[in-house]
Homo-oligomer: A and B are copies of this chain.
Amino acid sequence: MTRYEQLAQQLREQIRTGVWQEGDKLPSLRETVRRSGLSLMTVLSAYQLLESQGWVRSRPQSGYFVAPAREATRYSFPQQPLQPAETVDINAFIFSVLQAGNNPDCVALGSAFPDPSLFPQHQLSRALIRVARQMHADVTGVTLPPGCADLRRSIAQRYAARGMEISPDEIVITSGALEALNLSLQALTQPGDWVVVESPAFYGALQAIERHHLKAVAVATDPQQGMDLDALAQALQQYPVKACWLMSHCQNPLGGTMPNANKQRLLALLAEHQISLIEDDVYGELYAGLTPPRPAKAWDTQGRVLHCGSFSKTLATGFRIGWVAAGQQAEAIQRLQLMSTLSTSAPMQLALADYLSSHRYDKHLHTLRRTLEQRKHIFYRAIQREFPASIRVYYAEGSYFLWLELPPHCCATRLYRRALKAGITIAPGRMFAAGEQYRHCFRLNASLPWNARSEAAIKQLAALIAEQLALR
């Protein structure tokens, strides 16, 4: 990252955390030059970048001021009541949405995956070719659960780089994080048990709960603070909860990241009730804020956190390789995997181990984070420009999702159907809860390249939204 980008990021973080609030005048260019020791050109570039991203406005002869908060950095959800749901039944709807998203003729603003052209295709191909050339007949034995030892060691090294001591022995390689999450849930629960999930939540959590005949308590989740811990404490008092499932970083669909202090309080709360945490962290490596986040797992002293990660969102969508650092449950997870899919494919495990040994992953991630951040800014600006002013949009550091809220009378599911006919997918809020409370919301994928096609899609979407608004 260049110096001016670093400075811009610092200032964004300060605006996010309220050091500078709407209307505040930022320190003058001259003053910042003096304090920071940076050149005037560098400081000016940083301020211009912030302006282009909509964070600040310049006033001639006066300086730079924090832009009004129509942008949703300070947007916070109303406190929600607990949402117990004896049965969860949204699979059919989600399936139809996912199926629709497979159509390559659609502009995939509803997709959960980053634009795959951002992945290091060539390097992965070469890793796969090296593996294919050396592949011996008896490759399966080394990749059965818990999975390829070299790959597990590489993953453990990445934890170590974040200051976490995770033994390769507690890591199990899985078919993407989705299998890791599902096996974790199975290891911790029996049919009929209660599980805490976020509201709104990744639909995979709701599907897993339906599939395994569990009951869900959805606890309100704020894009800046993460899960409401007071509401969680109340839920744990009221329901015999067996597990808690949440995303600590770049939450899907909101995009927000839970502050470290909250992670610590969360763990204390769960420990008090002897409840395990399924920490879905598939987007953590994409966090673009200043300080790389530490998973809740970092404060887990009892082996109660099952930390699920993946390469699908950062490196290779189609390889289907994820993992869980499963603590106490490592053996249980292996047993469950042996009887459900046996193992993940051997060449894929070996190819990823080969790629990671080249030490190019961090460099790739660095570039990927920057590109995603840039693209998201462009989408965000376009949305501010094109969409009706009554639409709220939440922008979070490090996620490639934007979460949008229509006025309450509007139905994003209807918008989804209309958009689909126009060749555009969105992810309607209905997917992210058992109830109807997000039916006026939707999630946009802002990782696509900005070109005539995506620009036309945003304009078309704006027109469809205007149509919905008029439907009162």
Which of A115-123, A392-400, A434-442 lines the interface with chain B?
Answer: A115-123
**Stretch in A257-265, A344-352, A376-384 touching the partner:** A344-352
Does B178 lie within 8 Å of A95, measured CB to CB? Answer: no
Q: Is the CB of A121 within 8 A of B135?
A: yes
How far, in angstroms, from A140 to B138 measured CA to CA in the complex? 28
Contact between B119 and A125 (Cβ–Cβ < 8 Å)?
A: no
The stretch among A11-19, A316-324, A458-466 that forms the contact with chain B is A316-324
Residues of chain B within 8 A (CB-CB) of A117 are 137-138
A113 with B128, Cβ < 8 A, contacts A204-B339, A340-B179 known = no
| Shortest beta-carbon distance from A352 to chain B in Å | 11
Secondary structure type dominating chain A contacts: helix
Given A182-B340, A320-B343, A341-B341, A113 contacting B140 (CB threshold 8 A): yes
A186 near B213 with CB under 8 A, answer no
* In the assembled complex, A191 has its CB within 8 A of some CB on chain B: yes
Contacts of A221 in B (CB 8 A): none
Asked if A25 is an interface residue, CB under 8 A from chain B, the answer is no
Q: Which residue of B lies closest to A95 (CB)?
A: B335
Our pick among B95, B136, B144, B320 for the contact of A342 (Cβ within 8 Å) is B320
Contact for A176 among B129, B207, B341, CB less than 8 A: B341
Given contacts A125-B132, A186-B211, A191-B213, contact A319 B345 (CB under 8 A): yes
Known A132-B132, A176-B342, A341-B178; judge A137-B125 contact (CB<8 A).
no
**Contact partner of A191 among B132, B136, B138, B191, CB < 8 A?**
B191
CB pair A190–B208 under 8 Å, yes or no, is: no
The reply to whether A116 and B137 contact each other, CB–CB distance below 8 Å, is yes
Contact with B along A104-147 (1 / 0, CB 8 A): 10000000010011010100111011011101111111011000
Closest partner residue, chain B, to A139 (CB atom): B318
Q: Does A367 contact B (CB under 8 A)?
A: no
Closest to A336 in B: B211
Q: Does A38 sit at the interface, judged by CB under 8 A?
A: no
Bound Cα distance A321, B342 (Å)? 11
Q: Mark out the residues of chain A between 333 and 379 whose CB falls within 8 Å of any chain B CB in the assembled complex.
A: 334-336, 338-348
Number of A residues whose C-beta is below 8 Å from B? 61
Complex Cα distance, B334 from A335, in Å, reads 24
Contact of A133 among B129, B207, B211, B321 (CB under 8 A): B129
- Please tell me if the beta carbons of B143 and A318 are within 8 angstroms of each other in the complex: yes
Determine whether the beta carbon of A116 is less than 8 Å from that of B140: yes
Shortest CB-to-CB span from A23 to chain B, Å, is 44
* Residue A102 is within 8 A (CB to CB) of chain B in the complex: yes
Per-residue contact bits, chain A 170-198, to B (CB 8 Å; 1 contact, 0 not)? 00000110110010001000110000000
Contacts of A113 in B (CB 8 A): 140
Q: Is A91 an interface residue (CB 8 A)?
A: yes
Q: In the assembled complex, which residues on chain B have CB atoms less than 8 Å from the CB atom of A98?
A: 338
**CB-contacts of A385-418 with B (<8 A):** none
Report how far A186 CA is from B318 CA in the complex, Å: 25
Partner of A348, one of B104, B126, B190, B348: B348
How far apart are A264's CB and chain B's nearest CB, in angstroms? 32
Q: Enumerate chain B residues within 8 angstroms of A346, measured Cβ to Cβ.
A: 317-320
The answer to whether B121 and A128 touch across the interface, beta carbons within 8 angstroms, is no
Does A320 contact B339, Cβ atoms closer than 8 Å? Answer: no
Task: Pick the most buried of A140, A204, A335, A339: most chain B CB atoms within 10 A of its CB.
Answer: A339
What is the minimal beta-carbon distance from A152 to any residue of chain B, in angstroms? Answer: 15
**Which 3 A/B pairs are nearest by Cβ-Cβ distance?**
A318-B346, A207-B339, A128-B132
Chain A residues packing against B (C-beta within 8 Å): 91-92, 94-95, 98, 102, 104, 113, 116-117, 119, 121, 124-126, 128-129, 131-133, 135-141, 143-144, 175-176, 178-179, 182, 186, 190-191, 204, 207-208, 211, 213, 317-321, 334-336, 338-348
Besides A95-B335, A128-B135, 5 other A-B contacts (C-beta < 8 A): A98-B338, A320-B342, A320-B343, A347-B347, A347-B348
